[in-house]
Amino acid sequence: MKITEYISGLRENIHLAREQGKIIVLIPTMGHLHYGHLSMVENARKDDGDREKVYIIMSIFVNPLQFGENEDFDRYPRNLVRDSRLAQEAGVDMLFVPSVQEMYPDGQSLTTINVSRISEILCGSKRPGHFQGVATIVNKLFNIVLPDIAYFGQKDYQQFIVINKMVKDLNILVQLIAFPTVREQDGLAMSSRNSYLSSEERQQAPIIYQSLREGAVLITEGETDPDVIITTIKDRISKGSKGKIEYVEVRNAHNLERFEKIEGTVVISLAVWFGSTRLIDNILLEA
């Protein structure tokens, strides 16, 4: 595996891979890798054990544009030595680890990407500017790498919908893959922020997925009132943990619009605080 912090070095290696006829795969991350990230690498590498077909690029960049005031940019976990080892063992070909200066040479980006409406609801309503930062850095990575395929975790479902809309609206030639959420044995979605949890918070956090599943069961059994689902999930979390609920929503999975009556493809999503740690999760199903 090669490692570079420079756009020029990355592009040189991509050029060589394209000359060899390889498919370029991009897996953007903010580091502190876990098995959810590594599973994407394994999936991209399947049926290519000899590395003749696919060239996998993983980026590690903690993007300041997507962190608001008083958020955890400075304390976000960083361990490049550990991440490099895990990426190499998983089968990454090129690790791109740019500095903030490399990505934003002027110290800021006067040009940003704003995907309106769907960026302003759910997580976006509580984190103004977050998805603008996400869309901007992902668009930059797409322009730098020009990938054929890009992987994103389904845990960050709203993020995927925002990026998917950006790709369609701007006619970006890339195939997006929403990779299913990878979970711990007790159901907690794998996340770099899980490392912030105290032992007590970690014991309580699985109630997030338990409550989502309870809501999903109600829908599969015929419940069509979103308020019933939302109330059930909130009650389950409030009675079974010390988690502070930020939001629980039942939305159309394709466009994140609200339902008057639940039907079609549904995403139940939520954000819950355990102490100073904000966890998000979701579940997809057919009503």
List residues with catalytic annotation. Answer: 37
Q: What gap in Å lies between CA 25 and CA 151, rounded to an integer?
A: 8
Classify the phi-psi angles of 116: left when phi > 0, otherwise alpha if psi is within -120 to 50, otherwise beta.
beta
Kindly give the pairing relationship between strand 23-29 and strand 149-153. Answer: parallel
Judge whether 237 and 271 are in contact, CB under 8 Å.
no
Strand order in the sheet with 277-286: 244-252, 265-274, 277-286
Judge whether 149 and 175 are in contact, CB under 8 Å.
yes
DSSP character at residue 182: P
DSSP character at residue 22: P
Q: What gap in Å lies between CA 171 and CA 139, rounded to an integer?
A: 12
Judge whether 34 and 192 are in contact, CB under 8 Å.
yes
DSSP character at residue 37: H
